[in-house]
Structure 1
Amino acid sequence: MDAELYTQLDTASVPEARPACSLGGTVYARLRDALLNGEFGARESLAELRLAARFGVSRTPVREALARLHTDGLIEREDGGFFATVPNLAQLKDFYELRVTLELRGVARAIEDSSVRHDPAVLTAELERWYAMRERPPAPDPRFVVQDERFHAELSRASGNPALTEALVTVSERIRRVRMYDFLTRDRVQTTITEHIEIMELVRDGRLDEGYRALHAHVGDSMAVVMERAQRAMTQMALHAGRI
C-alpha cells in the first residue's frame, strides 16, 4: 500500500504549474517534481551536465529549465551554481501565515454565506481515502506530505473557489521541502489521519463552526507551535540530506 500511496499529487485535482510543451518544458516539469519531492539534498549542486545525463538531453533544455525554476523561486544561485531553495524561518513564518489564512477562508466563506456549499462528492471521495489509511496506516515517510497536501487541496476545492485552491497549492509547494520532514514518526502520521477525518466529517455534516475550529487547530492555532515544528523539520531535513 505504501508504494502506491506515496505518489505525486493527483494532477486532476490541483492546478498544474505550466504545460510541458517543449523539451525544455518537459525537463522543467520533471526537475520541478524532483525538487518538490526532496530528491536533491539541501546543498546538492544542480549541475547542468549531470542533469542532462539524468534526463537524456543536451545542456540547452536543462539551462532553460533551470532559468524557469530560478524565476519560480524554487532554486537559487550561489557560488556560480544552482541549489534547491530552502526557506529560512522568517520566510516559513510568512508562508505558514498565508497558508492558515487560505485554509480557513475556504470554510469561513461557507459560514458567512449560506448559499456556499461544500461539494459532497469531493468530500466523500477524499474521506474514503483517509478511512482506508486509518484501517491500514502507512509507514512514516517524508513523502506522506503529498497526501497531506492533497487533503487540504481537496477540502479547499470542495468549497468552490478555484482561486483559493490554486493559491493554497502554490504555498504548500513552497514549504514542502521543510514540511515533509514533519512525518517521520508513526504517531505523527496517525494523528494527521485522525484529524483529517474529523475535520472533513464536520464540514460534510454542516457543522462548519466546529470544522473551522478543528481546522484552525490542525494547521497551527499557535504560530509558536508551528515554528517549533518547522525548526524541528528543518533539522531533520539537514540530517537526512541526500538520503531520500
Structure 2
Amino acid sequence: MNARAAGATSDLRHQVYTQLRERLMSGDLPLRGRLVETRVAEMLGASRTPVREALVRLHAEGLLTSDEGGWYPVIPDLATIRDLYEVRITLELRGIQRVMDSPRLGYDLDAIRALHADWSEYRAAPPEPGPDVLLLDEAFHLRLSEAAGNPSLTRILATVNSQIRLVRAYDYGTEERVTATIAEHLGILDAILEDELGRARTLLHEHVGNSYEVVEAAAARAVAAHFLGTQAGQLDWQEFAK
C-alpha cells in the first residue's frame, strides 16, 4: 500500500470513528439497541473493518459496552457518575496539592507554558461547541496533571475521564460554555506561572466542581438529556440495531 492509499484508509477510519462517537455522545443511538457491524457500515457507507475498529475503540473509551458478543451504548448511571466525579475532583486537586505540600517538588513550567500557549490560541480562535471540546478539555487536565509530576495519578485520571465522558459531552454545547472553559483554564495556568499555587488550587476546584450538589445536578441534567436525545433518535437508528 502506497502512502496515499494508507492516508486515505486512515482518514476513513477516523471519519467512521468520529461519526459514531458524535452520535453516541449526543444521545442519538437507542440505549438498548445492539449495534450491528453490517448495519452501521451500510449506513455510514463504509466497510466493516473501520466500523469494527471504531466500535472497539469506543468500547475502550467507555462509550460502548460489550455483552454476549454485541455492542451497546453505555447507559448512564447517576450514582456511579456521582462517585466518579468525586474521584475526578480528588485526583485533580491532588496534583496541585502535592506540589504545594513539598518544597522539593514543582511544576514542569515549560509544560505549563506550552499548555498556556495552546489555550491562548483557542482564546483567539475558539473551537466550535460540541464533543471535540470535551476531548480538548480532557487533554488539558491530563497535561496539567502530568506537569505536576505524578504519572500514576495521571493514568488513573485518564481512566476516570473515559468513564464519565458520555455524560460530560453535554458540558460544551454552547459558545458561552466554551469561552468560559478557555478563560478558566488560562486563569489556572496564569496562577501557576505566577507561583500562586493556593489561588491556582482554588480556581481548579471551582472549575472541576467545588460542590457535589452542583455536580450531581449537572450529571442529572446530562442523563436526562441523553435519554431525551435517544428517544428523539430512536426511529432513525432502530433499523441498524437489528
Q: If the length of structure 2 is used for normalisation, what is the TM-score?
A: 0.74
CA RMSD of aligned residues (A): 3.3
Render the CA deviation track for 1:43-67: whole Å, top value 9, x for unaligned: 2531133356666347xx949x76x
- Residue 100 of structure 2 aligns to which amino acid in structure 1? I
- Map residues 1-244 of structure 1 onto 2, 5 A cutoff: 37-40=21-24, 41-43=28-30, 44-50=33-39, 56-57=47-48, 62=52, 74-76=63-65, 81-241=70-230
Provide the C-alpha distance between the structure 1 equivalents of 2:134 and 2:105, rounded to a whole number of angstroms.
29
Provide the C-alpha distance between the structure 2 equivalents of 1:240 and 1:108, rounded to a whole number of angstroms.
39
- Would you say how many aligned residue pairs link Structure 1 and Structure 2? 213
CA 1:213–1:234 in structure 2 vs 1: closer, same or farther (change >3 Å)?
same
Provide the C-alpha distance between the structure 1 equivalents of 2:225 and 2:163, rounded to a whole number of angstroms.
17
Render the CA deviation track for 1:159-189: whole Å, top value 9, x for unaligned: 1111111111111111111101111122211
Provide the C-alpha distance between the structure 2 equivalents of 1:152 and 1:32, rounded to a whole number of angstroms.
27
Provide the C-alpha distance between the structure 1 equivalents of 2:221 and 2:189, rounded to a whole number of angstroms.
28
Provide the C-alpha distance between the structure 1 equivalents of 2:103 and 2:20, rounded to a whole number of angstroms.
37
Tell me the CA shift for residue 34 of structure 1: 5.2
Render the CA deviation track for 1:189-225: whole Å, top value 9, x for unaligned: 1111111110111112221111111111111100110
* Structure 1 unaligned spans of 5+: 1-25
Tell me the CA shift for residue 236 of structure 1: 3.0
Provide the C-alpha distance between the structure 1 equivalents of 2:202 and 2:60, rounded to a whole number of angstroms.
37
Q: If the length of structure 1 is used for normalisation, what is the TM-score?
A: 0.74
Tell me the CA shift for residue 42 of structure 1: 4.2
